[in-house]
Structure 1
């Protein structure tokens, strides 16, 4: 058995009404703005649609909340494209920071320390927050001052690109520090 497909896209928001879909009665007045942005005044919706068709464009209901409703004579396809483009730009500018974790031990070799440092730099440059965790085993927890020194050294090495959101804090058998990327003037200008 063959399924029927619904080709109508559901965008989640209502599209503006155009031409005959404007639910005003034909005699009701609407405020009309032409394609150059100049007001044509109050016209019946019937005459406004005729005016739009003469220009080869569409009458689009911009605001039905005002009295009288505001309509604009524009190319609907271009208008719809511009609205979608604006929505994509807004969505692109929103970036939710993800918390990435870098796990280490306080007895760490210099090479591994550099690897973890590079990993933290990569996460921070990607715009993510970094949770640095030092895990203690057995009686190592008695040397928590060495772990604090290691975390402070890491934060000091990264001070150009990061801010400390949460200083080193002991949680059970772990020592945790939370770093977040620094807000640069260059990032704000983009």
Structure 2
């Protein structure tokens, strides 16, 4: 809320330099702001009494927008990349998949390792769990298990994340 929108009986006023001007009526605070050719902005509406600051509102909004933009820049989305394996995978193929997973993890992404079963392979699900365990064991130097291996329909899957 700014200027005439402030309807409180009493407000705590802070000058633009940051010094406390004390508690006064909203009208008096408004007069002080007009004398300084600035705006009266309510910055802490939940406080008792509410805190208002005498500042240039346009400049204040610009600063807020800039801070939000900076905060957004520093955020980073973490993608979940998937590596699919089959129960009868050969060692070299497994190593290739592991190298891909290492690449994904080094870029800061999570890796979902999925062991897919088709047809007759469904009968031997428990014997194939060791493939995921070996995968996690060999990735131990760069990754930790976030979600352990779990059966989801026709596939066993686990999630690996970067080691902190």
TM-score of the aligned structures, taking structure 2 as reference length: 0.74
Cross-structure match for 1:4: none
Instruction: Give the length in aligned residue pairs.
Output: 164
| CA RMSD of superposed structures (Å) | 3.1
Match of 2:7 among 5, 17, 23: 23
Question: By how many angstroms is 1:163 displaced?
Answer: 1.2
Alpha-carbon contact 1:32-1:72 (below 8 Å) kept? yes
Distance 1:172 1:44 in 2: 67
Kindly report which structure 2 residues correspond to 1:52-91, keeping only aligned pairs within 5 A, or say none: 52-88=33-69
Question: By how many angstroms is 1:52 displaced?
Answer: 1.9
Cross-structure match for 2:144: 163
Question: By how many angstroms is 1:162 displaced?
Answer: 1.6
Structure 1 unpaired stretches of 5+: 1-16, 185-190
Q: Which has the higher contact order (CA 8 A, sep 6+)?
A: 2
Cross-structure match for 1:10: none
Provide closer, same or farther for how the CA distance between residues 75 and 111 of structure 1 changes in structure 2, counting only shifts above 3 A: farther
Question: By how many angstroms is 1:92 displaced?
Answer: 5.9
Distance 1:76 1:170 in 2: 57
Residues 69-104 of structure 1: per-residue CA shift (max 9 Å, x gap) = 321111212322333344455566666755432111
Cross-structure match for 1:5: none
Provide closer, same or farther for how the CA distance between residues 123 and 48 of structure 1 changes in structure 2, counting only shifts above 3 A: same
Distance 1:104 1:156 in 2: 16
Residues 93-138 of structure 1: per-residue CA shift (max 9 Å, x gap) = 6667554321112333455334322332343344443221122334
Distance 1:111 1:163 in 2: 22
Greater strand share, structure number: 2
Question: By how many angstroms is 1:144 displaced?
Answer: 4.9
Cross-structure match for 2:105: 124
Question: By how many angstroms is 1:60 displaced?
Answer: 0.4
Distance 1:74 1:50 in 2: 13
Distance 2:50 2:80 in 1: 47
